[in-house]
Structure 1
Amino acid sequence: MRSVVARFSSSSPSIGRHSSIPRLLSRFLSLHRLAPMAAPSEESLRKALADKQAAVDSRGNAVRALKAAKASKPEIDAAIEALNSLKLEKSSIEQQLQAIVRGGDGSSLSREEFRQAVVNTLERRLFYIPSFKIYRGVAGLYDYGPPGCAVKANVLSFWRQHFVLEENMLEVDCPCVTPEIVLKASGHVDKFTDLMVKDEKTGTCYRADHLLKDFCNEKLQKDLTLSAEKAAEFKHVLATLDDLSADELGAKIKEYGIVAPDTKNPLSDPYPFNLMFQTSIGPSGLLRGFMRPETAQGIFVNFKDLYYYNGNRLPFAAAQIGQAFRNEISPRQGLLRVREFTLAEIEHFVDPEDKSHPKFQEVADLEFLMFPREQQMSGQSATKMCLGEAVSKGTVNNETLGYFIGRVYLFLTHLGIDKERLRFRQHLANEMAHYAADCWDAEIECSYGWIECVGIADRSAYDLRAHTEKSGVALVAAEKFTQPREVEKLVITPNKKELGQAFSRSQKNVVEALEAMTEEEAMKMKAALESKGADEFLVCTLGETVTIKASMVKISKEKKKEHQRVFTPSVIEPSFGIGRIIYCLYEHSFYRRGKNKEEQLNVFRFPPLVAPIKCTVFPLIQKPEYEAVAQRISKLLTAAGVSHIIDMSGNTIGKRYARTDELGVPFAITADSESDVTIRERDSKDQVRISVDEVALVVKGLTDGQRTWADIWAAYPHHSSASADDE
């Protein structure tokens, strides 16, 4: 895989020796120095970035046109210089944009300030807190408090409604403790590892790739003296980070002098660490098991029964919500990287020869930010694309994958995720497993940058085949023919004995790769083996090319009469990190309002759909008749199924509003007479007058999404109480 840097350099041969580079670098540095003084808003920076990207694209086309026309070298060099100047300006704008986040009042805060404000509010109001806090806690483990539990329950309830009910999915609930043999078949026992390094003096462990990634990013963002050549090198390392072996990663750490972040002590060489929590099943301890690292395997091993339950019909989907466990080497970023977390996963089983979807047209017209691999490799930014067009052009591999991308977009935006800070990024070739047909991540931008929150992958038939081989139980589907058919079938038969002698421990990887070949790849190999006796073959899981001899594999086509077609279904898998989605939702919903910095109040702008409490009830003052009305309204809300709290405290109404705004409660009812009350909407602070008998049904309609605040505002008399929020 050629990196972004390699592609850039190969198309610009004069970059390294061009005399204008110092001038460009000076311009780049000056842009960075001026940025803090100018303090541009996020909106202006996003517009400037879009304009600059358009200019880069236009200039890039001009360079290609000049080369195609065989223009003179000075003319091409001048065009390349102009292109590089634009790219440096674009890079400067991107870094300024990364350094700020949007405040709810339109102001821009530094990412650190914004994140600290959000986290402080979340912990103070018990949305979540570090687990075992009185014992100084354990990294990567968190407790959800009352409002956090309510938000999580609401998100999961909507997930079930949006996916399980809408698509008639089969929901299962499988154990967290999983026998070793299951995870051996899936590849987790052998391959579910990260490379780790240790502080040689204290023994503290760190993820090797995180240390290298942080070092390169810090150099690119903060080192104003960085040369163009060194910047290109660091970008190349970031682009190829997933491809680095343990030895290569260790060499880079030593080359750059990377040491333990906390102590500055030297680090050990990287070595693999399996991320699963190991346990024993039963008192004898003889049956080895693990805490599951994902929920998907429970669905795969139950495929045969689920297929039967579904009337032996495809396509169908199974879903599961549950806890997963990963023994992270160095948990960080709060709820974004933890050791125990909630996953919601879907396995949609489909005929590999027909990946169309009957409901695709329902999402085909959606337009949102997409980041195909070609744009990533060429250094472009994500752009808005029509989903139907992306599928028709083959950018997205098939309709079913595209359908779930569209449904995920609708799910996240209904929760309250900002459409402008949500994108779908396609996996690069070096990120995908050899068996995957296509993979996209729903990434949400927050103060930590772009965070992967949902993965939507076409995993082909790998998982079911792996469990079929290990268990001996055929996890297959069948299509019955009305008339017998004569079919020609591809048969790939690896000679495991010879492959074992030739490749020893790598034999399994080679066999899997051979069996996963497409018909086109297999027939090319067959021709090469027959003509030359050997063929060079790339084994993706090893990351290397091996020589396959004619005696190692038999490839043929056989004609047979069949009454049915038996096949292993492909799997389209959307996998949701619920904790990550919720944290990003917290950030996207948080803002501050007030006349000045000292008087600003924290607010969570949760949609009623996910708000932890839908409504508050206040007597205006502590008078028995108002308190009686408040109690009556509370009973009506309970009967209507609306979650609420009643506040009889003696605080001013303004302070009570502020307290519930900080919890994200969308509506507040104030009892100030025995017949009529006011309903206040959180973000506009507008109020209307409604009779006591109607108020519960009105709030029920608002929280269920049957009515909007605009509907209520148009239907009921307005109430003016400008001073209440200022008290």
Structure 2
Amino acid sequence: MNPHKNIYFIDMLSGLHQSPIISNLKTLSVIIGTISPISPIQPQIILRRNFISPMAEESLRRSLAEKQSTIEARGNAIRELKSSGASKSEIDDAVKALNALKLEKTSIENQLKASISSSGGGDTNDAFRQAVVNTLERRLFFIPSFKIYRGVAGLYDYGPPGCAVKSNVLAFWRQHFVLEEDMLEVDCPCVTPEVVLKASGHVDKFTDLMVKDEKTGNCYRADHLLKDYCKEKLENDLSISADKAAELKHVLAILDDLSGEQLGAKLKEYGIVAPDTKNPLSDPYPFNLMFQTQIGPSGASTGYMRPETAQGIFVNFKDLYYYNGNKLPFAAAQIGQAFRNEISPRQGLLRVREFTLAEIEHFVDPDDKSHPKYSEVANLKFLMFPRGEQLSGQSAKRLSLGEAVSEGIVNNQTLAYFIGRVYLFLTRLGINEERLRFRQHLPNEMAHYAADCWDAEIESSYGWIECVGIADRSAYDLRAHTDKSGAQLVAQEKFAAPKEVEKLVITPVKKELGLAFKGSQKMVVEALEAMNEKEAMDMKAALETKGEVDFKVCTLEKTVTIKKSMVSISKEKKKEHQRVFTPSVIEPSFGIGRIIYCLYEHSFYMRPSKAGDEQLNVFRFPPLVAPIKCSVFPLVQNQQYEEVAKQISRSLTAAGISNKKDITGTSIGKRYARTDELGVPFAVTVDSTSSVTIRERDSKDQIRVNVDEVAAVIKEVSEGRCTWADILQKYPAHTSASADDEN
């Protein structure tokens, strides 16, 4: 069967309003870029995107600028003809030529508008998003928190179906990672003492740059204002030159790397003001995103609502390592709430102040980052966006994980293994694999201690959204907590026989350093002791030849002079019975709310009713995550049928299958439409006391099954032990008139 037989393609450049298919639509909310793979059975309305390359867009902008210059020159020439008393026919010919140029300019503008809209912006994405959000709110998947009090930005409640979807996603996460990978799960407090987050760096560095309206005091994220300005200019100001467009694109590319001063300079250069009042803005300054609180009634102990769940795992490493039999590698996992006091929350469910994280910390020997199950994912092939392609302006490409590791694109096998497992997790949830990519962090995004870092990004109506981060954080976290707490968060490898090893010994002379650096002595000592072997031996050689050397102390953010009398550096041979080391950490971190929102968009589509007079909303959730697995309907209001429906519902519940009865007197078609809008994959219709029909949501195919077999059939297909196609082969199709009673 041709999978595209019943798909209506509507070209973006054609008259959308003229299409009989969408004449009744209030919004153009069915977009090819925003729905998941198409059922081969049901007709759906899809908007075909017209993608254009950056070079082609630049060419259009240059053509537009040239055409505008020509029009202005021709206009001046006509004015000169009129002032010089030229003949009417000569002037008419010149005006005719000018009008032709204006038509050509309009054509180029239309092409440029279409290219910008098709590349991710424009009204189509907004209309689709609004259709999804309206459906989610109306069916209580989520609700703005404290709505009767006008709500609070960045806070949302999950309603009954939203809670069920979230619960199913988290249950699958536990199955896919915690159980299958034999992880140790912990549950730590949301309130975290300041000392913990001081050690991790959050107190000093967990900030965004903020600006204030100088008259009203309203606050805005500085980078968001600059980003909005650049995007608005690129999308809507067709008069800007190609050079200016290139400059704005460059600003967008380096936005995350701009300092406060650079960001402030750009805001002033572009004349950016407060969006609501048009008032001038303050200079950008850092704002810490953590919610601060006091622990205990005295207020003497400061704490914060945790911005992530990882620190609870790191501080428990010593006990978890013991629980695991003092063996590496092992992983610990945690699901819990995290809190970030966003300056100006936007993008709906994607940027909120309280959210659910699911994080894994996989502890591994830094000298051996191989993984015993790596071969299980090495052949997976999907969209990857290495930093080389990003820096050279290329697009994401399909790569197998095996290729990526062998070519050195992905740093090590364990990191690659978790990238593969994340890919399988997301696609099994229902994320469209064509709109999922793994993007490698650029050098300016990487922490200095990280060995490698990738983001799983999902395309939505907002663009590419980071939903999972998979990072090799080296040994930074455990070392930071070791230094701050004094607890030795280390692992041991016992040797079968003693080994003679050559060890680097760095001995700072604290008396000399104290005299030279006074209050900064501790940071200089720590920096000296943290040198790797090459740095230390280079320093030793320089001290022996010159007597002093310049040394950069990162924590002081300056270079100091180290003299020969201040430090002793040597190599000593020792016999050791064990190796003591700080493990490296591979960290996959999942933004559960972001994943669920993208799943909503990827699952949503609209299809015409049987009569063709309206569009019906459908969520194409896989049974794995559907909020309700099965609905049960008596065909008509009949006591016998209702008793059978209750019996079937009880058997489904006993089998662990969530279900919902609907004994209202509305037509069966309307009841199907209601449950399709909730994403319920199967509907049981009771039309006799001995056998019933089971309808599949997307194909709308129906089969007839004996009453006592219903629970077993639904359980088998909803748990993935067989497919709907397998069921169709096993049970007779139901083709009566009632089967087609679709509203």
- Work out which of the residue numbers 643, 646, 660 in structure 2 matches 1:645: 660
The answer on 1:624 being equivalent to 2:639 is yes
The change in CA–CA distance for 1:278 and 1:48 in structure 2 (over 3 A counts) is: closer
The change in CA–CA distance for 1:277 and 1:503 in structure 2 (over 3 A counts) is: farther
Task: Measure, in 1, the Cα distance between the counterparts of 2:221 and 2:334.
Answer: 30
CA RMSD of aligned residues (A): 3.1
Query: How far off is 1:606 after superposition?
Result: 0.2
- Work out which of the residue numbers 391, 408, 411 in structure 2 matches 1:377: 391
Q: Which residue of 2 aligns with 1:719?
A: 734
Q: Which residue of 2 aligns with 1:98?
A: 119
- Work out which of the residue numbers 659, 666, 684 in structure 2 matches 1:669: 684
The change in CA–CA distance for 1:541 and 1:385 in structure 2 (over 3 A counts) is: farther
The change in CA–CA distance for 1:164 and 1:301 in structure 2 (over 3 A counts) is: same
- Work out which of the residue numbers 601, 616, 625 in structure 2 matches 1:601: 616
Q: How does 1:476-625 map to 2 (within 5 A)?
A: 476-492=490-506, 517-528=531-542, 530-531=544-545, 546=559, 549-550=562-563, 555-594=569-608, 599-625=614-640
Q: Which residue of 2 aligns with 1:434?
A: 448
Query: How far off is 1:703 after superposition?
Result: 1.3
Q: How does 1:173-184 map to 2 (within 5 A)?
A: 173-184=187-198
Confirm or deny: 8 A CA contact 1:538 1:545 kept in the other structure.
yes
The change in CA–CA distance for 1:503 and 1:232 in structure 2 (over 3 A counts) is: farther
Q: Which residue of 1 aligns with 2:270?
A: 256
Query: How far off is 1:348 after superposition?
Result: 0.3
Q: Which residue of 1 aligns with 2:711?
A: 696
Structure 2 residue matching 1:240: 3-state secondary structure: helix
Task: Measure, in 2, the Cα distance between the counterparts of 1:229 and 1:700.
Answer: 60
Confirm or deny: 8 A CA contact 1:179 1:288 kept in the other structure.
yes
The change in CA–CA distance for 1:232 and 1:504 in structure 2 (over 3 A counts) is: farther
| 1:177-213 CA-partner distances (Å, limit 9, x unpaired) | 1111111111111111111101111111111111112
Task: Measure, in 1, the Cα distance between the counterparts of 2:482 and 2:221.
Answer: 34
| 1:380-428 CA-partner distances (Å, limit 9, x unpaired) | 0100001011011110000000000000000000000000000000000
Q: Which residue of 2 aligns with 1:396?
A: 410
Query: How far off is 1:593 after superposition?
Result: 0.3
Confirm or deny: 8 A CA contact 1:434 1:541 kept in the other structure.
no
Query: How far off is 1:513 after superposition?
Result: 6.5
Task: Measure, in 2, the Cα distance between the counterparts of 1:370 and 1:504.
Answer: 50
The answer on 1:446 being equivalent to 2:460 is yes
Task: Measure, in 2, the Cα distance between the counterparts of 1:114 and 1:511.
Answer: 58
Task: Measure, in 2, the Cα distance between the counterparts of 1:337 and 1:532.
Answer: 55
Query: How far off is 1:705 after superposition?
Result: 1.1
Confirm or deny: 8 A CA contact 1:613 1:645 kept in the other structure.
yes
Q: Which amino acid in 1 is paired with 2:600?
A: Y
Gaps of at least 5 residues in structure 1 are 1-33, 57-89, 102-108
Query: How far off is 1:91 after superposition?
Result: 10
Structure 1 residue matching 2:359: 3-state secondary structure: strand
Task: Measure, in 2, the Cα distance between the counterparts of 1:508 and 1:50.
Answer: 54
- Work out which of the residue numbers 371, 376, 400 in structure 2 matches 1:357: 371
Provide the aligned length of Structure 1 versus Structure 2: 653
Task: Measure, in 2, the Cα distance between the counterparts of 1:264 and 1:500.
Answer: 54
- Work out which of the residue numbers 424, 430, 443 in structure 2 matches 1:410: 424
Q: Which amino acid in 2 is paired with 1:653?
A: I
Task: Measure, in 1, the Cα distance between the counterparts of 2:351 and 2:673.
Answer: 31
Task: Measure, in 2, the Cα distance between the counterparts of 1:364 and 1:550.
Answer: 51
Q: Which amino acid in 1 is paired with 2:120?
A: A
The change in CA–CA distance for 1:238 and 1:359 in structure 2 (over 3 A counts) is: same
Structure 1 residue matching 2:642: 3-state secondary structure: helix
Task: Measure, in 1, the Cα distance between the counterparts of 2:222 and 2:577.
Answer: 54
The change in CA–CA distance for 1:447 and 1:532 in structure 2 (over 3 A counts) is: farther
Structure 2 residue matching 1:328: 3-state secondary structure: coil
Q: TM-score, normalised by structure 2?
A: 0.82
Q: Which amino acid in 1 is paired with 2:481?
A: H
Q: How does 1:82-231 map to 2 (within 5 A)?
A: 95-99=116-120, 110-231=124-245
- Work out which of the residue numbers 441, 445, 460 in structure 1 matches 2:474: 460
Q: Which residue of 2 aligns with 1:660?
A: 675
Query: How far off is 1:236 after superposition?
Result: 2.5
Query: How far off is 1:379 after superposition?
Result: 0.4
Larger Rg: 2
Of the structure 1 ranges 167-176 and 589-598, higher mean CA displacement relative to structure 2 is found in 589-598
Q: Which residue of 2 aligns with 1:278?
A: 292
Percent identical residues: 76
Task: Measure, in 2, the Cα distance between the counterparts of 1:96 and 1:512.
Answer: 54
Task: Measure, in 2, the Cα distance between the counterparts of 1:708 and 1:222.
Answer: 48
- Work out which of the residue numbers 311, 321, 333 in structure 2 matches 1:297: 311
The change in CA–CA distance for 1:458 and 1:619 in structure 2 (over 3 A counts) is: same
Gaps of at least 5 residues in structure 2 are 1-10, 17-30, 34-45, 60-110
Query: How far off is 1:617 after superposition?
Result: 0.1
